[in-house]
Amino acid sequence: MEEFASVIERYRKLEDEVTRLSQEGNFDKLKEILPEYNRLKDAVSKIRELEDALSYMEELEGMADEDPSLRDEVEAEIEETRLRVERLRKEIRSLLIPRDPNYDSNVILEIRAGAGGEEAALFAADLLRMYVRYAEKKGWKVSITHAHETDLGGYKEVAVLIEGKGAYGRLKYEGGVHRVQRIPVTETGGRIHTSTVSVVVMPEYQDTSDVEIKPDDLRIETMRASGAGGQHVNKTESAVRITHIPTGIVVHVQDERSQHQNKAKALRILKSKLKELREREKREKLGQIRRSMVGTMERSEKIRTYNWPQNRVTDHRLSGDEKNYPLDRIMEGDLDQLLDNLEKMALSRMEEEMVD
């Protein structure tokens, strides 16, 4: 089939390469190419189905021309087959989109109060609870690595590590500015206020062996853990704060029971942050970051509004019926439909770029 000939050719080359590397025992190189090989294998299987469907449609068209008495019945079958052809083409294009290699990674999620003072801090706590509820539904583990609490129980900033298969792939669209409209608990006049909270989402990279950290580039401090995640270690200096001097990146971890465990987790997170910084610089250099695209995680971009009086959450990246959701359900962690629609839109845009 001409339109997918290059895909089939690439698959055959990879198939030969997989066989050769397996025979040679070169498993490191094999591991690199297997994701693309498996993706193209599925695509080629769908291409074969598409070829059969197109061939069948040609036969049906011939039957309609030969026997007019069968025309109505055959045309109904042709229409059904045409819809199948369209569906297969769409599925093939989706399979040809390279999957995010970090899709199944753990996620480092940071929430910071923005405009709105104490009300923004309280909303940051609400967002944290929303993500924790969602993680619980997915069976993921959540640990609060650092938290700066306020007197009313909000957060000026809070950082969590969410561990579970697909955590980053599902939550990567949450990066950006979240806006809340409601009457704050501190408001005595009953006026609706607008506050903002920023959310930063990044993967915990599975392979950080290429990230080299020199001991002289680190400033390591220990202190007593306090607040969320550290209640069981308040009496000892188990919390660890590591500053990477060349970049100014700071990682604070206090959720483990010992200083050694906190330091190890802090270094894990630091390596992921340094790798993310490097990967972002690469993307910017290649001109691959587009402000209009879902998932860029631009900090200045307002992605969503939570309207309490109207019990409505509006995602500004979506349109039509897909942009609004019941606030009470969203805040309880019922995020799947919203995240499905964001993922679907991102794939659709990538498909359009492939066609262009």
Is residue 116 domain-shared with residue 185, that is, in the same domain?
yes
Is residue 187 domain-shared with residue 308, that is, in the same domain?
yes
192 part of a folded domain: yes
Is residue 163 domain-shared with residue 113, that is, in the same domain?
yes
The string of pLDDT tens digits covering residues 157-168 is 999 999 998 899
pTM for the structure as a whole: 0.71
What strand order describes the sheet that includes 239-244?
Answer: 218-223, 239-244, 249-253
Q: What angle do CA 57, 62, 65 make, to 5 degrees?
A: 130
The CATH code of the domain that includes 309 is 3.30.70.1660
274 part of a folded domain: yes
Is residue 181 domain-shared with residue 311, that is, in the same domain?
yes
Is residue 277 domain-shared with residue 296, that is, in the same domain?
no
Question: Measured between alpha carbons, how far is residue 186 from residues 117, 120, 130, 152, 301 in Å?
Answer: 10, 11, 22, 10, 27
10 part of a folded domain: yes
Is residue 314 domain-shared with residue 202, that is, in the same domain?
yes
Does 13 or 280 have the greater pLDDT score? 13
Cβ atoms of 138 and 163 within 8 Å: the answer is no
Neighbours of 147 (CB within 10 A): 24
In terms of residues, how long is the chain? 356
Query: What is the spatial distance between Cα 291 and Cα 188, in angstroms, rounded to a whole number?
Result: 39
Neighbours of 12 (CB within 10 A): 12
101 part of a folded domain: no
Is residue 122 domain-shared with residue 199, that is, in the same domain?
yes
Number of domains in the chain: 3
Is residue 193 domain-shared with residue 316, that is, in the same domain?
yes
State both tokens at 67.
């026997």
In 3D, which of 260, 264, 254, 248 has the Cα closest to residue 223?
254
Q: Which of 255, 286, 317 is the last residue of a domain?
A: 286
**Does residue 68 register a pLDDT over 80?**
no
Question: Measured between alpha carbons, how far is residue 262 from residues 223, 227, 270 in Å?
Answer: 11, 15, 12
State both tokens at 179.
């806006």
Amino acid 345: pLDDT? 86
Quickly tell me which residue has 């294009």 as its tokens. Answer: 93
Query: What mean pLDDT do residues 329-340 have?
Result: 94
Question: Measured between alpha carbons, how far is residue 123 from residues 23, 130, 143, 267, 279 in Å?
Answer: 57, 10, 19, 29, 31
Neighbours of 355 (CB within 10 A): 6
Considering the chain, what is the average pLDDT of its residues? Answer: 84
Is residue 183 domain-shared with residue 259, that is, in the same domain?
no
Banded model confidence at residue 225, pLDDT cuts 50, 70, 90: low
Query: What mean pLDDT do residues 264-275 have?
Result: 89
Q: Which of 270, 286, 302 is the last residue of a domain?
A: 286
185 part of a folded domain: yes
Amino acid 5: pLDDT? 87
Is residue 142 domain-shared with residue 262, that is, in the same domain?
no
Question: Measured between alpha carbons, how far is residue 2 from residues 6, 47, 92, 281 in Å?
Answer: 8, 11, 14, 37
Provide the residue range defining the domain that includes 50: 2-96
Query: What is the spatial distance between Cα 190 and Cα 309, in angstroms, rounded to a whole number?
Result: 12
